[in-house]
C-alpha cells in the first residue's frame, strides 16, 4: 500500500464526507487509469495539473492521462485505539502502511451534528489522535528495545542501538511525536524505523473542515489549528467537505464559477491532492503525442533511465538517451517542432536528473 495518504479523524468531523468526495473524483476520472484495482477503502484520484491541458491544446491528443495518488480511508479513531478500543488494531495496521497522515479536524459548530467529545475544540481533537499514535509507537518501541537488550548480551554493537532507542522512547514518553526527534536524521533512526514504521514519524497534514462562512474568513477554530500546524511545521488545508462533494459533480465551467463565487481559486480537495503529492516526494514528467498526453509519476531526483522504467522496464534496460524539452519551452515554442527549431531540445544521458515538467522522449535498444 506504499505511497498512500491515510485519512484519519474522530467520528463526525467530516472524514467520511471528504473521502466520499475523493471517491467521486476517482469515479469521474476512472477512464484515465482502467487497470487500477480499487479496494473498498481506497481511492485512486487524478492529480490536478493545468500543464496537461496546456500541452493537450498544442498536441490535440486522443486522451489525457493524469498522475494519480492513493488515499486510504482509515477506520474511525476513538480514545483507547492504541489499547484496541473500537477498531484500534485495524486502524493502526492500516495507517502504518501509509506514508502521509491527513488529519481531518472539525472546525465548525453545528448543533445538528453531534461531536463525540461534546464540544468543538480542534486542538483537543488533534491531541486525542496524536496521543493514540504516540502510545502505539511507545508500545512498538518498548518491544523492540527488549529484543535488542537480549541481542546486546552477545553483541556489543547492539547496546549502542539500545541506548539510541531508549533516547527515542524518552522523547515519545514526554508526549512528543517521533518526527520532532532531534536525531531523526541519524542512520540508527532509519534502521529502527525501517521495520517499526513509526506512526508519529510520518508527514502530517491537517484538513480544517469548516462551514461555508469559514471558507471566506478564518474562524477561531481554523486560526487555532493553523497556529498549531505552524508550530509543528505542518501543512493546514482549509476545506468544506460538503461543498467538496458538490463540486465533484459539476462541469468544469460550473465548478470554476462556483469557486469564484466562494472567493477561492482552488478547491480544498485539489490542495490536498497537490500538496499530498509533494509531501510524498513525487513529481511528474510528461510525454506528449497524438495518442495521448500523459503525466508519469516519479520520485524527485530520479535519473532518466529510472524515469523511463516507469513507462516500461525495457526502456531502462536499453536506455540510449532522452530527448528533453522543458515544459515552459514546449509551450512557448508551440510544440516539439518549434522547440527543435529554437534549439530548446536537449539530448540527455544516463546521469541526467529529470526535472518536474520535463517533456521527454526516450531512445532505447533491446
64 contacts 52 by C-beta, under 8 angstroms: yes
Say if residue 16 carries a ligand binding annotation.
yes
How far from the centroid of its chain's Cα atoms is residue 152's Cα?
38
Phi, psi angle pair for 358, to nearest 5°? -55, 135
CA angle 59, 65, 66 (to 5 degrees): 115
291 contacts 364 by C-beta, under 8 angstroms: no
Whole-number Å distance between alpha carbons of 191 and 11: 35
Whole-number Å distance between alpha carbons of 298 and 309: 10
Whole-number Å distance between alpha carbons of 270 and 239: 10
Say if residue 267 carries a ligand binding annotation.
no
- As given in the structure block, the three cell numbers for residue 264 are 477561492
Say if residue 8 carries a ligand binding annotation.
no
Whole-number Å distance between alpha carbons of 345 and 241: 44
Say if residue 17 carries a ligand binding annotation.
yes
Phi, psi angle pair for 292, to nearest 5°? -160, 150
Say if residue 12 carries a ligand binding annotation.
yes
- As given in the structure block, the three cell numbers for residue 19 are 473521502
* Helix orientation angle between 122-152 and 220-231, rounded to the nearest 10 degrees: 30
For 86, left (φ over 0), alpha (ψ -120 to 50), or beta? left
Partners of residue 101 on adjacent β-strands: 6, 204
* Helix orientation angle between 122-152 and 88-96, rounded to the nearest 10 degrees: 80
Say if residue 94 carries a ligand binding annotation.
no
DSSP 255-305: HHHHHHHHT-SS-HHHHHHHHHHHHTTEEEEEEE-SSEEEEEEEETT-BHH
Enumerate the known binding-site residues for ATP: 12-17
Enumerate the known binding-site residues: 12-17
Amino acid at each position: 500500500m506504499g505511497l498512500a495518504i491515510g485519512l484519519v479523524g474522530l467520528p463526525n468531523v467530516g472524514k467520511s464526507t471528504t473521502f466520499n468526495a475523493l471517491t467521486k473524483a476517482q469515479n469521474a476520472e476512472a477512464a484515465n487509469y482502467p487497470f487500477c484495482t480499487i479496494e473498498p477503502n481506497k481511492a485512486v484520484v487524478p492529480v490536478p495539473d493545468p500543464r496537461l491541458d496546456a500541452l493537450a491544446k498544442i498536441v490535440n491528443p486522443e486522451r489525457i492521462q493524469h498522475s494519480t495518488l492513493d488515499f486510504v480511508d482509515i477506520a474511525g479513531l476513538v480514545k483507547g485505539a492504541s489499547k484496541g478500543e473500537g477498531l484500534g488494531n485495524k486502524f493502526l495496521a492500516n495507517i502504518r502502511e501509509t506514508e502521509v497522515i491527513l488529519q481531518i479536524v472539525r472546525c465548525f459548530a453545528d448543533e445538528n451534528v453531534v461531536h463525540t467529545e461534546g464540544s468543538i475544540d480542534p486542538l483537543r481533537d488533534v491531541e486525542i489522535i496524536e496521543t493514540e499514535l504516540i502510545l502505539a509507537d511507545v508500545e512498538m518501541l518498548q518491544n523492540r528495545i527488549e529484543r535488542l537488550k537480549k541481542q546486546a548480551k552477545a553483541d556489543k554493537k547492539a547496546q549502542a542501538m539500545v541506548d539510541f532507542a531508549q533516547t527515542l522512547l524518552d522523547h515519545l514518553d514526554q508526549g512528543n511525536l517521533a518526527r520532532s526527534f532531534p536525531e531523526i536524521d541519524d542512520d540508527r533512526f532509519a534502521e529502527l524505523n525501517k521495520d517499526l514504521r513509526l506512526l508519529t514519524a510520518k508527514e502530517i497534514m491537517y484538513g480544517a473542515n469548516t462551514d461555508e462562512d469559514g471558507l471566506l474568513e478564518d474562524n477561531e477554530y481554523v486560526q487555532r489549528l493553523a497556529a498549531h500546524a505552524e508550530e509543528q511545521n505542518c501543512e493546514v488545508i482549509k476545506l468544506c467537505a460538503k461543498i467538496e462533494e458538490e463540486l465533484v459533480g459539476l462541469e468544469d465551467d460550473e465548478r470554476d464559477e462556483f469557486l469564484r463565487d466562494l472567493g477561492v481559486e482552488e478547491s480544498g480537495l485539489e490542495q490536498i491532492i497537490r500538496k499530498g503529492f509533494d509531501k510524498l516526494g513525487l513529481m511528474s514528467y510528461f510525454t506528449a503525442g497524438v495518442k495521448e498526453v500523459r503525466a508519469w509519476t516519479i520520485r524527485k531526483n530520479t535519473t532518466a533511465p529510472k524515469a523511463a522504467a516507469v513507462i516500461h522496464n525495457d526502456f531502462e534496460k536499453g536506455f540510449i538517451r532522452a530527448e528533453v524539452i522543458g515544459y515552459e519551452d514546449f509551450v512557448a515554442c508551440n510544440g516539439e517542432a518549434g522547440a527543435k527549431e529554437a534549439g530548446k531540445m536537449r539530448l540527455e544521458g544516463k546521469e541526467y536528473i529529470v526535472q518536474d515538467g520535463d517533456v521527454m522522449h526516450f531512445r532505447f535498444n533491446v
